[in-house]
Amino acid sequence: MDPEQIAELIRSAIPGAQVQVRSDDNTHYAALVIAPAFVGLRGLARHQLVYRALGERVGREIHALSIQAHTPEEWAARPTAAPPSGQSRN
């Protein structure tokens, strides 16, 4: 599965999300998701939102997924904060 397809699925399911997905082999992925929907949620709940967006693809087309999930405020507070371009990179 193409990283941009995964990013679009996440964007569709989490309104206002900025998403960047990378993969070297199109089966193992790393996703950075910055979304207002994460405000007030702990890490596990944030990851569950992302996994819910991908549904049954996880474990099938998506063999492994590493997720960084931040609120916009958390991302902005990072020392090297730079918003993702919205484009996925392979």
Q: What is the pLDDT of residue 46?
A: 98
- Mean residue pLDDT of the chain comes to 91
Question: Beta strand 28-34 with 64-70: parallel, antiparallel or unpaired?
Answer: parallel
pLDDT in tens, 58-83: 989 999 999 999 999 999 998 875 66
pTM for this predicted structure: 0.86
Confidence check: pLDDT of 2 > 90? yes
- 3-77: CATH number: 3.30.300.90
The Cα 35–Cα 18 span in angstroms is: 6
Confidence of residue 26 (pLDDT cuts 50, 70, 90): very high
Q: CB neighbours (10 Å) of residue 26? A: 15
The Cα 85–Cα 18 span in angstroms is: 8
